[in-house]
Amino acid sequence: MAKDRKPLGILAMLAVSAILVSAVLAVNADAARGAGKGGGKNGGGSTPPPSTATCSVTPNPATQQQVVVITGSGFAASGSVGITVSGSGGTQMGFAMTDEFGAFSREWTASWPGTETVTAAGGGATGTCTFQTV
């Protein structure tokens, strides 16, 4: 039975990767069209304001295998946010859905000792934060 879990884990990672790639492609397609902001015929369009997205992790610092909460705000309302957590042991990916105000909250398990960098991206906004795992 234990031999069957590895392929399922790989399939899960592939599925999450496919979702994140789809989200990035959708955002890029909206940007190419001008997202309804003057990007029609004859060019034009306006430069979007800089991202004001933020993220944070509590508790910080965390111990290995402790559940932490990643929160973010400043993203598109009722959308998805791709989350990557990178540390000394590699990179993990996941996603969260934002509420009607563009905020999200997602539980995560702290894995590797050292500084872990969280990047949350979606709807044209990106927020980055770090936390320590001891």
Task: Residue 48: count other Cβ atoms within 10 Å of its Cβ.
Answer: 11
- Check residue 14 and report its DSSP letter: H
128 beta partners: 119
Please give the helix or strand (H or E) that residue 56 lies within, else none: strand 54-58
Domains of the chain: 2-133 (2.60.40.1930)
pLDDT by position in tens, the chain (length 134): 555 555 555 555 545 554 544 554 444 444 444 444 444 445 555 555 556 899 999 999 999 999 999 999 999 999 999 999 999 989 999 999 999 999 999 999 999 899 999 999 999 999 999 999 99
Query: From CA 52, how far away is CA 22, in angstroms rounded?
Result: 23
Question: Peptide bond preceding 50: is omega within 30 degrees of 0, i.e. cis?
Answer: no
